Amino acid sequence: MSKTPDSGKTEDDEPSTVEQYLVKDPERFALNMARMIEQAGKAASAWAEPRERGEVRDHVAEPVVDMVKTFSKLSEYWLADPQRALEAQTRLFAGYMTVWANAIQRVSPNAEGTDDAVKPERGDKRFQDPEWGRNAFFDFLKQAYLVTSRWASELVEHAEGLDEHTRHKASFYVKQVSNAISPSNFILTNPELFRETVASNGENLVRGMKMLAEDIAAGKGDLKLRQADYSPFEIGRNIATTPGKVVGRSDVAEIIQYDPATETVLKRPLLICPPWINKFYILDLNPQKSFIRWAIEQGHTVFVISWINPDERHGAKGWEAYIREGLQYGLDTIEEATGERDVNAIGYCVGGTLLAAALALMAQEGDDRIKSATFFTTQVDFTYAGDLKVFVDEEQVAAVEKSMNEKGYLDGTKMATAFNMLRSGDLIWPYVVNNYMRGKDPLPFDLLYWNADSTRMAAANHSFYLRNCYLENNLSRGKMELAGHTVSLGDITIPVYNLASREDHIAPALSVFLGSKYFGGKVDYVMAGSGHIAGVVNPPASGKYQYWTGGKPEGDFGQWIAKAAEHPGSWWPHWQSWIEAKDNTRVPARKPGNHMKTLGDAPGSYVKVRV
């Protein structure tokens, strides 16, 4: 922003000019429109051909039907009382009238500054271009959109008599629709896109349609939205590079042991159980961000479970198989590799839920090899399970099961889409605009490379998870059945470090807090700043965020936060002190392969199987 000569105004205060929205070279623009239509035809073919061959079946109708049913229940409340419906319509009409009055005032000869009828929420990046404020047309579109979307959200918020699940779904669907219809998503209603299209004579749209065709082809008939330039990254070369060896391999997991970085190490090895919904290398993106490398540098002998990317052969592998052939197989491998039975364990997200269920089962079976458990953003009680719960009710689970049973697994793209929808304003629409309308390649980003490296879900495993956790909440209720046992979290009496993250939308901090009470032993609840990923992957050297510690995780969550002590930076050193307080015995460092044959270099072969 700079001042114009001989005036006290900034460039942002200058009136909008029509010239910037006029096509300068109509012939070239028309040619590019023809090229765009040609590329759009290729995109349509990439979408249609797999369907014509029967390789792809559309399931779009199922979520749309659920959305319509949800909105119908919402409408019933507002239309059941004519007075209530009239009041709701009046609020919307009043908002529009304010927008209209502002627009009239702005275009009048004696216009003075006017306040917007409604302002974007803090952090909303969609309306940063100056033309959204100084051009009367775009300002009108922006305010009308914000008034409408805010009104729709309030309809959900103030609807009485809705059960919480329906309210949650209605709020989620309203947000999805609002994000989708934003004027920032369309050429003619986004000043920045409009200018770029005119300035390039439509070449941006040609590039965008070409990228769209490529992304549909890459998704084999479904759109595989690219969120980053993935070409610079290669697993084992500049992603997941911490040195180590594969020391075990089962049908569902490879066990990786990492090379030591210290002369002595903690006597208790560390076993990490990551989620199978994503790949383990979120904990080993690069040397600067790697929790695995940092733990090794603190003196841990680190073992990691790398889950198989399942196919039709693994359809019948359920939670018992993942416990026996994953977690307990990992413990067996550690004992063979190090001679140690006592182990510290970490579980991340659903990997933590599996670890908790396994510990409850192992307690009944007399397997006491795990001496401490750390949970990263893990839910064991699903009463307040966050936005993913939107996708879980009997009808939706039955539909997912039907889809999975056709192949024995759930396509990885389905889970990736669900996770992206949780933050569609950040993970979907900005990339739609950037890629397919601006025609610009996204930038390289290792985190988004990992996010796009999706995994399939084995049918039996995923069905068990959806029903026993999200749908029936059997784990915290003491009704989960595994290997002929009805397991109880109360049987877990080992020390627990229970990490939540304050802005987590997948495993909300409240949900993790409430889950703490079900364990039978002492639980240290710690809340990190940021979200599900950044709150966990926060190396001390970065100096980012903070974490909170306090008393026992009991009582009111808000009161716990109010009394908790806030600490700057990463929680990693706090966890290390917690681990060492349990057992700080040190032994000479252990190298992979000293006591057993190795099966290849880290990060192994399972992690390299792509969807």
- Reported for 557-563, long-range contacts at CB under 8 A and 24+ positions apart, including other chains, are 557/509, 557/510, 557/513, 557/514, 560/513, 560/525, 561/527
Angle formed by the axes of helices 164-180 and 61-79, nearest 10°: 110
Judge contact between 377 and 526, C-beta under 8 A: no
**Both structure tokens of 241:** 């590079």
- Reported for 84-88, long-range contacts at CB under 8 A and 24+ positions apart, including other chains, are 88/151, 88/155
Closest residue by Cα to residue 382 from 415, 418, 357: 357
Output DSSP code: residue 453. S
Judge contact between 507 and 379, C-beta under 8 A: yes
Q: 263: which residues sit within 8 A by CB, 6+ positions away?
A: 588, 589
Judge contact between 549 and 497, C-beta under 8 A: no
Closest residue by Cα to residue 228 from 447, 541, 483: 447
For the chain, report the end-to-end CA distance as a whole number of angstroms.
Answer: 46
Strand-strand pairing, 244-249 and 253-258: antiparallel
Judge contact between 255 and 329, C-beta under 8 A: yes
* Amino acid, single-letter form, for residue 267: K
DSSP characters for 271-340? Answer: EEE--SSS-GGGGGSSTTT-HHHHHHHTT--EEEEEE----GGGTT--HHHHIIIIIIHHHHHHHHHHS-
Q: Which residues are catalytic?
A: 349
| SS3 state at 236 | coil
Cα(101)–Cα(141) distance, integer angstroms: 13
Locate tokens 């627990």: which residue? Answer: 496
297 to each of 266, 403, 490, how far by Cα in Å?
Answer: 11, 45, 34
Locate tokens 């012939």: which residue? Answer: 27
Cα(178)–Cα(166) distance, integer angstroms: 18
| SS3 state at 270 | strand
Strand-strand pairing, 565-568 and 546-549: antiparallel
DSSP characters for 539-600? Answer: -GGG---EEEE-S-S-S-HHHHHHHSEEEES-SHHHHHHHHHHH---EEE---TTSSS---S
Strand-strand pairing, 457-458 and 409-410: antiparallel
Judge contact between 421 and 428, C-beta under 8 A: yes
Cα(96)–Cα(112) distance, integer angstroms: 20
* Amino acid, single-letter form, for residue 312: E
